Amino acid sequence: MRVEGKGLIDRKQRLSFRFDGRTYHGFAGDTLASALLANDVRHVARSFKYHRPRGILTAGSEEPNALVTIGRGPATDPNVRATVQELYDGLEARSQNAWPSLGFDVLSINDLAAPFLGAGFYYKTFMWPRAFWEKVYEPFIRRAAGLGALGGEKDADHYEKAYAFCDVLVIGAGPAGLMAAWTAAQAGAQVILADEDSRMGGRLNAETLTIDDKPGADWAADMVSKLAAMDNVRLMPRTTVTGAHDGGTFGALERVSHHVNGVPPGGVKETFWRIVAKRSILAAGAIERHIAFQNNDRPGIMAAGAVRAYLNRFGVSAGKAVTVFANNDDAHRTAMDLQDAGVHIAAVIDSRKDAQALGDYRLMSGAIVTGAEGRKGLEAIRVTTATGTEKIATDCLAVSGGWNPTVHMTCHMNGRPTWDERIASFVPTPGAIPGMETAGACNGAFSTASCLSEGVAAARSSLDALGMTAPDIKIPQADDSNYALEPLWAVPGKGRAWLDFQNDVSVKDVKQAAQENFTSVEHMKRYTTQGMATDQGKNSNVAALALLADATGRGIPETGTTTFRPPYTPVALAALGAGAQGKGFAPERKTTSHAASVAAGAPMIEAGLWYRPSHFPLPDEKTWRQSCDREVGWVRNAVGICDVSTLGKIDIQGPDAAKLLDFVYTNMFSTLKENRVRYGLMLREDGHLMDDGTTARLGENHYVMTTTTAAAGQVMRHLEFVTQALHPEWDVRIMSVTEQWAQFAVAGPKSRELLNGLLDDAIDDSKWPFMSCGPVTVQGVKGRLFRISFSGEHAYELAVPSRYGDSLFRLLVARAESLGGGAYGMEALNVLRIEKGFITHSEIDGRVTAQDIGMARMLSEKKDFIGATMAQRPGLTEAGRAQLVGLKPVGPVKQLTAGAHIYTDGAEPVAEHDQGYVTSVGFSPTLGHFIGLGFVTDGLSRHGDVLNMVDHVRGIQTRVELCDPVFFDPKGERTRG
Amino acid sequence: MRLRCPICGERDRREFYYQGAAVMLDRPAPDAGEAAWDNYLHLRENPAGDLEEVWSHDAGCGAWLKVTRNVSTHEIKSVELAREVKQ
Amino acid sequence: MADLIAKTPLDSMEPVTIGTCTVTEANLGTLTSIAPYAGAKIADTFKTAHGMAWPAPNRATGKDGARAIWFGRDMVLLAGPDPDAGLAKHAALTDQSDAWTAVTLGGADAEAVLARLIPLDLSPANFKRGHTARTQIQHMTGSVTRIGADTFLLLVFRSMAGTLLHDLERAMASVAVRG
């Protein structure tokens, strides 16, 4: 219920929202949780395993119970913590993990079957019979267990990543964080202050404490506005720092549009930040822990600090007759604040015998709560004292077992926290994250005064490390009361007492784990599932390991903690993959002929990042094969045009250019004459083929190298390695010019005729023999012409600056069409090269040597080159290696398929009879049958052998004859003619 | 993780290409023998501590770098230009 | 016979404005990569020939119409004039005029837009006018130079023009919505 005169909400802005189909109202500044409590909705969820009714436990991101689904369809967000979901008008939330409804949940029968579903149940109960696991047990468990479900439709919202940089990153904007940010900002440091809440101030917004005689929330608001006005400060509210990573890098999730009804057009739902900070200050506060007793999970039983937060920040009393159960002084404030606001306090139960009342309420010291009644909402508690047991009617029990510092981030780089007996909890181990200071409650300093002074001190240390001068900062006056507690993890007694609410782990489960010898804390976690799922046991970890320590007779420090890993709170995969949706996945590289190819109806296929035309269909062609056959025919009989700009082109200049080429290629390039082109093979240092291509000598000290499209980046990096790391003394400069030139193959018997109508100066075979190159002009534009061929025909490649690429391509195609040819695509290019036995990366797949492809003669013996030594090692030269062969069908089945294996003819097609594999295939319209390239054991000397090709995947068997890989024009007369 | 490129300054590790152990900076002579080449290409130390590595500032200036990195803590001890190491 | 028609990487698109920022295709003129040979003393020759200083690493010199942009290890990109012939004996010169997509991004939120694409601190304190970097622009490698108080020059490979525009528009929209 609302309490008049309390809270930081805006009562003038009334908001309407729906929960499980019913309409309610709240105010601006509410969370979904506070609005539900204001409407007296206490039962909001069912637990994971036993489907027990659950209510709101906390007021923060550590909430284990109140997980709901927000939105519908593609915008569905499951597992949203109602405690952090800001209320907006029109918000629609649904409960999860209950069927048919939250009130009547069929699977709550699991709760009755609990004796069979205890810790490790899935390792035991469902073991037999074995065959039942997949068909019966697993489907049942999957249906029964679980959190919210995804919408099932593609998430239409955008997410983004972004980078931020600062001198000092302050994580958490409570009193310690605000003072740290203020101090660092006064010194002129670039400061980022990030807080997961929409309103900065931390606990100051949830308490009635004062700072410098001002209400804490007002002091915080003043600080925030002063910081916001500074140029060197960046405030990041709604931003959870999720992880501390190497080198001062932090991940942070900003919830950009969760507080509004739908992502605005062009906007993003979340931004995942990478913040790079020279220094960082963790001021993440602390999380209150529960106390285990029978039925301590009933809706209405809440964290004491949360009950205060709902009152002081949201103007909501979580009950009408409130009781408090605690082992420390801090929780007494809950009674005081509620009483001041006019709420009835039925009793304060303090387990400490010497507990003192802070005000005029009924205190039961040395007492414990031993049970709770009211299944879907708390009705009464049983309190046991030295003299007996009393039942007290109450609809809200505020529990505090003390506070656990939020040390998580300090453990993200393998650090372990240190046990602090004083507060019976873990505190950060100094230096666990390089460059990180810790301050305030996360450091075990719980009073407001100590938070303020630790914030200043942490900033001072950070500024010192940055070489900056810390200003004199007056530390404001604030409460400095002592935090006194006596540890109490679980009250003794019968019945199930809950530790981990999200995973339904009880005290008994932890004891059972210990009994069954899962005594390591990591084993206990996995055996009981304590500390798993969305809250990662934020409320229960310390208590669970304290009980484990007790059960195993060890101390808590020796028992240790499980490993805290990023992210601190859940991060949607959509945020981690942000920017990679749709066209953001990878750059699209488009050639200058792209528009013309698409306009001609060519389907574009991906070649690495490039898009290249598959084929250019004519209107009467039904299949790609028809187009491909026709395009091959054009090149063999007339002339074809193909964009080859995607091949890597590298400009190599300098006095030692030839030395470099001789070193990276297996064959000689220093002997190449100017205006001539040579084919070269490049090895890796281990003797295997890296790439092949042609290199042209444009001048005495000027070459241009061509790489395959696939290996362009790799070869460039390789050349950089050789020139920087192996031979820095060589005077040679290399530069990628792939993008500078639009280059087109003009291939076919009529290629010279085509060019001679186009080039400003006619060419002839005497001046432009095979493997020549040189400058030309095309309608006044300076270009380069290479007489090289990847088709086996008389052919050229003509390059012009890319700005003219589109225009030249259209011109070339038009001229080709007038000569009985036209454009050809990747399919035809592939068939043409297979007909000639030219290799691509389908063949040189990283395991293949020059010898394997029959090019041993290209390994020069006159020089050292990359791979020279290792190419001669026995494993690469001895008999029995798979070698390149041509393949043609000779049996009734005529089809060849790439990827198929080749087996001994007549033998069973199994691994022990494997002879090799097929790398490339195509239907040759020139020869009228399928042809293929492949690798077969000792294949170079086995031409004429007949073997059995078997494609086990597609179910094809074809008898094949091994032959020379050059199927067409073996003497190369067409190329040279 | 961040590396300080001697030319470009400190950059996110995503700008860099990781190659492997810095052994590969010391290419043996062609006739150095099997053991030397085996060591150059295949044999690698795997210390839980400092390791000398080569990286390339691929998405930056293009420099090849010799990096000394503690592979347990990811602390970067030094970053040098491969070209200067070799000269 | 039809003349060959020149096309720019973004086909002379109209400037695109979203929120406070505008992306404009930039015509930088001739682009020449200049990679000095070993021991070359190119700075004086360059200064005399082109009237601007030879830029140190991560710096750009000159102004609109004639800039020298550090472009990587031992390499400078001369943008604007044709390179002086005298430079050829000091350095490898390579014509790059058609190899790069060049755009300017200007506007009050330009830094915020680029914070979504570039993993560098581009704040004025760290990245002043005349500072340049080779770095990543989303998934592309590129070059970024501050050429004005709130204006940046971005270069990526020509073939990636469409992706650059897409990525910029997406980031500009996101920043504009935040207001």
Asked if A406 and A445 touch (Cβ cutoff 8 Å), the reply is: no
C63, C132: one domain: no
> Does C4 map to a domain?
no
- Of C95, C117, C149, the one marking the end of a domain is C95
Domain residues for the domain of B63 are 2-86
Is C69 found in the same domain as C36?
yes
Share of chain C above pLDDT 70, in %: 99
Is residue A614 within 8 Å of residue A605, measured between CB atoms?
yes
Q: Cα separation of A311 and A338, whole Å?
A: 7
Q: How far is CA A437 from the centre of its chain?
A: 28
Which of C57, C58, C135 lies at the smallest CB-CB distance from B15? C135
Domain count across chain C: 2
Asked if residue A925 lies in contact with residue A846, where contact means CB atoms within 8 angstroms, the answer is no
Cα dist from A362 to A319, A351, A716, A807, B81, whole Å? 17, 14, 80, 91, 74
For residue A450, CA distances in Å to A483, C50, C157 come to 11, 63, 56
Full domain range(s) for residue C83: 30-95
The Cα-based distances of A358 to A308, A333, A355, A479, A624 in angstroms read: 15, 8, 9, 15, 86
Q: Is C153 helix (H, G, I), strand (E, B) or coil?
A: strand
- What CATH number corresponds to the domain at position C156? 3.30.1360.120
A27 closest CA partner among A17, A42, A19, A40: A17
Do C106 and C173 lie in a common domain?
Answer: yes
Q: Which of C58, C73, C119 sits opposite B63 (nearest CB)?
A: C73
Average pLDDT over residues C135-146: 97
Interchain contact, B74 vs A246, CB within 8 Å: yes
- pLDDT of C32 higher than 90: yes
A194 Cβ neighbours under 8 A, 6+ residues apart: A169, A170, A171, A172, A173, A236, A239, A240, A241, A252, A275
Distance in Å, alpha carbon of A273 to nearest chain C alpha carbon: 9
| Structure confidence at residue C79 (pLDDT) | 98
Integer-rounded Cα radius of gyration of chain A: 38
- Where residue C2 falls among pLDDT bands split at 50, 70, 90? low
Residue C39: how many other CB atoms lie within 10 Å: 7
Mean pLDDT, residues C20-26: 98
Domains of chain A: 10-121 (3.10.20.440), 159-286+405-466 (3.50.50.60), 290-401 (3.50.50.60), 589-646+740-833 (3.30.1360.120), 649-736 (3.30.70.1400), 878-976 (2.40.30.110)
Q: What is the ipTM of this complex?
A: 0.98
Query: CB distance C4–A588 less than 8 Å?
Result: no
Measure B8 CA to nearest chain C CA, in Å.
7
C-alpha distance from A67 to closest chain C C-alpha (Å) = 28
Q: Which of A67-71, A94-98, C101-105, C129-133 has the lowest mean pLDDT?
A: A94-98
**Interface A-B: count of C-beta contacts within 8 A:** 64
Mutate to test the interface with B, among A414, A663, A869 (most CBs of B within 10 A): A869
Locus of tokens 């993008």: A739
Residue C13: partners with Cβ closer than 8 Å, 6 or more residues away: C25, C165
Question: How many of the other CB atoms lie within 10 Å of CB of A961?
Answer: 16
CA–CA separation, A808 vs A834, rounded Å?
28
Task: Give chain C positions within 8 Å (CB) of A700.
Answer: none
- What is the model's pLDDT at position A533? 87
Assess whether C47 and C111 both reside in one domain.
Answer: no
Q: Are residues C61 and C115 in the same domain?
A: no
- Residue A372: the pLDDT is 97
Helices (H), chain B: 34-41, 82-86
pLDDT of residue A144: 64
Could you say which DSSP state residue A622 is in? -
Q: Are C172 and C111 part of one and the same domain? A: yes
C58 in contact with B at a CB cutoff of 8 Å? yes
Residue C35 belongs to a domain with what CATH number?
Answer: 3.30.70
Residues C70 and C83 in one domain: yes
Determine the pLDDT at residue A141.
Answer: 66
What pLDDT is recorded for position A367?
Answer: 97
- Same domain, yes or no, for C103 and C71? no
Q: Does B14 sit within 8 Å of C136, measured CB to CB? A: yes
Q: Do C4 and A653 touch (CB under 8 A)?
A: no
- Across the interface, of C75, C140, C170, the residue whose CB is closest to A587 is C140
Last residue of a domain, one of C95, C120, C148: C95
Domain boundary (C95, C118, C150) is at C95
CATH number of the domain residue B71 falls in: 3.30.2270.10
Question: Is the Cβ pair C134, B61 closer than 8 Å?
Answer: yes
The total domain count for chain B is 1
Query: Could you tell me which residues are beta bridge partners of residue A878?
Result: none
Residues C102 and C23 in one domain: yes
Strand partners, A382: A371, A391
Same domain assignment for residues C79 and C45: yes
Cβ contact B7–C57 (<8 Å): yes
Q: Which two tokens mark A291?
A: 């106390």
| Per-residue pLDDT reduced to its tens digit, A477-488 | 999 988 889 999
Q: For residues C46 and C75, state if they share a domain.
A: yes
Question: How far off is chain A from B47, nearest CA to CA, in Å?
Answer: 18
pLDDT of residue A371: 96
Does residue C1 have a pLDDT over 50? no
- How much is the average pLDDT of B8-18? 96
Distance of alpha carbon C94 from alpha carbon A720, whole angstroms: 17
On whether both C77 and C107 belong to a single domain, the answer is: no
Question: Which residues of B fall within a CB distance of 8 Å from C58?
Answer: 7-9
Which single residue is written with the structure tokens 């084929």? Answer: A615
pTM above 0.90, yes or no: yes
Which residues in chain A show pLDDT less than 50? none
